[in-house]
Structure 1
Amino acid sequence: MLKTLSRPAVKLVERYLPDPYIFVLLLTLIAAAAAIGVERQTPLAVLRFWGDGFWNLLTFSMQMLLVLITGFMLASSPPVQRQLARLAARAGTPARAIVLVTLVSLAASWINWGFGLVVGALFAKELARQIRVDYRLLIASAYSGFVVWHGGLAGSIPLVIATEGHFTADQIGVVPTSETIFSLFNLAIVVALFIVVPLVNRAMLPDEAESVYVDPERLGTSAGEERPVITRPAEHLENSKSLAWLVGIPGLLFLFDHFLLRGGGLNLNIVNFLFLFLAIVLHRTPRRLLDSLHEAIKGGAGIVIQFPFYAGIMAIMVQSGLAQTLSEGFVSIASADTLPFWSFISAGVVNLFVPSGGGQWAVQAPVMLPAAQALGADIPRIAMAVAWGDAWTNLLQPFWALPVLAIAGLKAKDIMGFCLIQLVITGVIIALGLSLIP
């Protein structure tokens, strides 16, 4: 049945979903028109919101670009490629490959979202080198695991409200992760998704005649370890193992100090630091690392050009009051029992325009928390409902798929038809978990 349902979804998306750059341009116009029409903002005010906020994600854009580049460099190192090849060899069949890549992506995304995006895509490419399987579904499966990130260890909303002095501490105090990430209802949702998402991806595997395959030669080959030919003195430094290790090993010692001696946690900067210095050590010479960098950076164009537009959209949504109006509209029809569901749905809608977990909480917390207190709803559950809504519609919003698509060499239209099926099924699971599990 799912295979049958996925066919029209895939064809519909392939035909009508534009390139992510066109998508962000359309979202910009929709957000601007809504701010003028619904919030009664003047065109000049909306123009200023947009222009003033256009560069607000520069730091984050650079972090995301580095997630792509450092992750690619690490995975292209000979030791990592050998391990990925060994793991991929265990799949054996297309069906097993789909299930395995989904599980790897789910596990990695639950640990850290940036880690999950890169590892899932790179492992999918290694599987495609060894197994003849529909490449679109393989990459869609790698991306679908991302849906669990906000219910995992790096979920920004539960970590924010568990931090002393967070911006809503006066309203709700400090909410420990035992009531959010490690609560029964959240763990039940995560477990259910770990079971259902791989099975749904497996069920959507197209027949041989409908499958789209990729030539393994297009994916490149495993990094070789050929002995370099040195023709000039400077190349001795470029191929120096000692130079790479003199810098790379101190970087790993810093991580040892961060995690074990100071008890630090994972964040996006630490993930990038880890990927980079592991890549420096495992490539063994600066020249091999630079060759890998040259290949990695080709896929970063989408991030560079599109993220500033999303920053402008976020500024329009927040400063015009449009995001708050959307949230209030859903809250107005809720009761104590249904508020988690409507919080989840509203967060999913807002996420299409504000694809940032932390940014979305800043927008929705001032609406959701007073409503929860007035209705007597469970505060941790409402916070996680917003978190899950933010993660859920990433299956439709191509913002977060850009690094995966860049690594895979595909376009959004190639994978979003499969993701659309997952959007419906995971939405039901998450909504039921938020509404029914105590």
Structure 2
Amino acid sequence: MIKRFSNGCVKIMNRWLPDPFLFAIILTIVVFIAAMVGTQQNPVELVWAWGGKGASGDGFWGLLSFSMQMALVLVLGSAMASARACRRALRSIATLAHDPKSAILVTTFVSTICCWLNWGFGLIAGVLLAREVARRVRDVDYPLLIASAYSGFVIWHAGLSGSIPLQIANGSTILDVVYQAPVAKTIFHPVNLGMVLVILLIMPLVNYAMHPTAQNTIAVDPALLAEEDEKKYEISTPAERIEHSRILWVITLVLGFAYIIYYFTQKGFNLDLNIVNMIFLFVGILLHGDLYRYVDAISDAAKSSAGILLQFPFYAGIMGLMVAQNAAGVSLASIIADFFVHISNDVTFPMLTFLSAGIINFFVPSGGGQWAVQAPIVMPAAEAMGIDYGRAAMAIAWGDQWTNMIQPFWALPALGIAGLSARNIMGYLVIVTIFTGVVACGGFLVWGLFF
């Protein structure tokens, strides 16, 4: 039954889902019209909000820093993986896969663990592992394999790099009130860990249950996995000797790893995108063994970042439309969140907050943006209902990660490495979205009834 339903979803997505850039344009139009109707703002006001009201850090250009970080995640991760030593390590893990079933199970399980540890690392590690598995198991369905690698991302906000639980652990000031919950009541709460464990153990089986029959399997295009012969360099001029200098290579590595080590002594195991990218950068330089060889690896990897550079400004514009307030301080995002608050009670409130967060995340695909939009509504309501701050915050966090599965925004780095388009994997991810939605709804009801 799962296979039949997933086949239908795949056919629909392949036929109807446009290119992610066109998808972003369509979303922009939909949100623009909805904001006009919902907030009664005129088109000029909304165009101003979409473009950023003349400020470089809002609206259309509000994700410039984040866009660069994500492009670097893709480029640095790919360059690191192209090093001979890294390819050997990935191939060692890939040896655990010897047929389509084990290929899907291993890829899903490993990517999910990696994403729980750190979402930036997991997003790239999963798809790189999937490529190595595809080299080994040629009869596995390649789109499903990449979808399985990406599916692990569905638990990132419940893990160690979740921005919302980490933010509220340090105290988050909302409307002059400080809301605080330790990680014992968010990331390490028994219900949160239980939901993660259910997904970790069952999602690999759900993914494999979707594997098409042999005649419908789409094998990987060998051209996508072809490895070029290692480039040979002629070193005959002073300039070329400087480019391949071992001394400069060592100095660069000492500087980089000195900072990384000092960072962890000062911050503890607190990973964010910047330190993940720095690790990718200097590990990549180390593994390539030569600065100029690494420059060539970066040049090759940069070609796949075009989607991020083009589409992220449009999603920033959508976020600007979602949070644009009228004279009464009402935004489209607040209307959606408010509706779910008003139909809730103390048991159903977190579950309905999760659902509303899932809807808002479709248009505001950013953990920080999600918190900024929903926390001023959800947290005071949670306090009034006597609901634990940690449970309310995790409801937003789970909603934020949930609909990432059917939102091409976060899939772009993985798709760039895999050489696929969004329509190739989204049909399978519809099933993952349904499955994880059921797990989360049940988990938050249990959290409200028994904890």
User: Residues 337-382 of structure 1, C-alpha deviation per residue, up to 9 Å, x if partnerless?
Assistant: 1001100000000001100111111110111112212222232111
Post-superposition offset of 1:286: 1.6
2:406 matches 1:411: no
The residue aligned with 1:37 is 37
The residue aligned with 2:354 is 344
After TM superposition, the structure 1 = structure 2 runs for residues 293-332 of structure 1, keeping only pairs within 5 Å, are 293-320=298-325, 321-332=331-342
The residue aligned with 1:17 is 17
Mean Cα deviation higher: 130-139 or 231-240: 231-240
The residue aligned with 1:373 is 383
The residue aligned with 2:47 is 47
- In the aligned structure 2, how far is the partner of 1:192 from the partner of 1:264? 25
The residue aligned with 2:55 is none
The residue aligned with 1:4 is 4
The answer (yes or no) to whether the contact 2:180–2:389 under 8 Å persists in 1 is no
The answer (yes or no) to whether the contact 1:302–1:402 under 8 Å persists in 2 is yes
User: Residues 8-57 of structure 1, C-alpha deviation per residue, up to 9 Å, x if partnerless?
Assistant: 01101111111110111011111111111111001110010001111011
The answer (yes or no) to whether the contact 2:155–2:196 under 8 Å persists in 1 is yes
Q: 2:255 aligns with which of 250, 255, 267?
A: 250
Q: 1:212 aligns with which of 210, 213, 218?
A: 218
- Identical columns (%): 47
Q: 2:92 aligns with which of 62, 86, 96?
A: 86
Residue 242 and residue 215 in structure 1: after superposition, are their counterparts in 2 closer, same or farther (change >3 A)?
farther
Post-superposition offset of 1:171: 3.2
The residue aligned with 2:445 is 435
Residue 139 and residue 264 in structure 1: after superposition, are their counterparts in 2 closer, same or farther (change >3 A)?
closer
- In the aligned structure 1, how far is the partner of 2:175 from the partner of 2:246? 50
The answer (yes or no) to whether the contact 1:78–1:222 under 8 Å persists in 2 is no
User: Residues 386-417 of structure 1, C-alpha deviation per residue, up to 9 Å, x if partnerless?
Assistant: 10000000011110000000010100000000
The residue aligned with 2:65 is 59
Post-superposition offset of 1:151: 0.1
- In the aligned structure 2, how far is the partner of 1:362 from the partner of 1:101? 34
The residue aligned with 1:137 is 144
After TM superposition, the structure 1 = structure 2 runs for residues 270-289 of structure 1, keeping only pairs within 5 Å, are 270-289=275-294
The residue aligned with 1:422 is 432
Residue 152 and residue 264 in structure 1: after superposition, are their counterparts in 2 closer, same or farther (change >3 A)?
closer
The residue aligned with 2:128 is 122
Please give the TM-score of this superposition, normalised by the length of structure 1. Answer: 0.96
Amino acid at match of 2:355: I
The answer (yes or no) to whether the contact 2:128–2:417 under 8 Å persists in 1 is yes
The answer (yes or no) to whether the contact 2:340–2:353 under 8 Å persists in 1 is yes
The answer (yes or no) to whether the contact 1:81–1:222 under 8 Å persists in 2 is no
Q: 1:159 aligns with which of 158, 163, 166?
A: 166
Amino acid at match of 1:221: E
Post-superposition offset of 1:174: 2.1
Post-superposition offset of 1:221: 1.9
CA root-mean-square deviation: 1.5
* Corresponding residue SS for 1:167: strand
Amino acid at match of 1:4: R
The residue aligned with 1:199 is 205
* Corresponding residue SS for 1:83: helix
Mean Cα deviation higher: 335-344 or 367-376: 367-376
Post-superposition offset of 1:276: 0.2
User: Residues 291-335 of structure 1, C-alpha deviation per residue, up to 9 Å, x if partnerless?
Assistant: 211221111111001111111111111123000000001111111
- In the aligned structure 1, how far is the partner of 2:104 from the partner of 2:268? 36
The answer (yes or no) to whether the contact 2:224–2:419 under 8 Å persists in 1 is no
The residue aligned with 2:105 is 99
The answer (yes or no) to whether the contact 1:140–1:416 under 8 Å persists in 2 is yes
Amino acid at match of 1:272: N
Amino acid at match of 1:19: D
Mean Cα deviation higher: 281-290 or 334-343: 281-290
Post-superposition offset of 1:218: 2.5
Residue 261 and residue 322 in structure 1: after superposition, are their counterparts in 2 closer, same or farther (change >3 A)?
closer
**What runs of 5+ residues in structure 2 fail to find an aligned partner?**
53-58, 326-330
- In the aligned structure 1, how far is the partner of 2:229 from the partner of 2:341? 54
- In the aligned structure 1, how far is the partner of 2:427 from the partner of 2:247? 48
2:401 matches 1:391: yes
- In the aligned structure 1, how far is the partner of 2:358 from the partner of 2:28? 18
Post-superposition offset of 1:172: 4.9
The aligned length equals 436
Amino acid at match of 2:6: S
The answer (yes or no) to whether the contact 1:228–1:239 under 8 Å persists in 2 is no
The residue aligned with 1:228 is 233
- In the aligned structure 2, how far is the partner of 1:338 from the partner of 1:223? 58
The residue aligned with 2:153 is 146
The residue aligned with 1:354 is 364
2:244 matches 1:239: yes
Amino acid at match of 1:210: N
- In the aligned structure 2, how far is the partner of 1:223 from the partner of 1:328? 58
Mean Cα deviation higher: 249-258 or 180-189: 249-258
User: Residues 139-165 of structure 1, C-alpha deviation per residue, up to 9 Å, x if partnerless?
Assistant: 00000000000000010111111114x
User: Residues 48-91 of structure 1, C-alpha deviation per residue, up to 9 Å, x if partnerless?
Assistant: 00011110110000000000011111111111111111111221
The answer (yes or no) to whether the contact 1:161–1:169 under 8 Å persists in 2 is no
The residue aligned with 2:328 is none
Q: 1:185 aligns with which of 185, 191, 215?
A: 191
The answer (yes or no) to whether the contact 2:179–2:389 under 8 Å persists in 1 is no
Mean Cα deviation higher: 362-371 or 340-349: 362-371
Post-superposition offset of 1:287: 2.3
Please give the TM-score of this superposition, normalised by the length of structure 2. Answer: 0.94
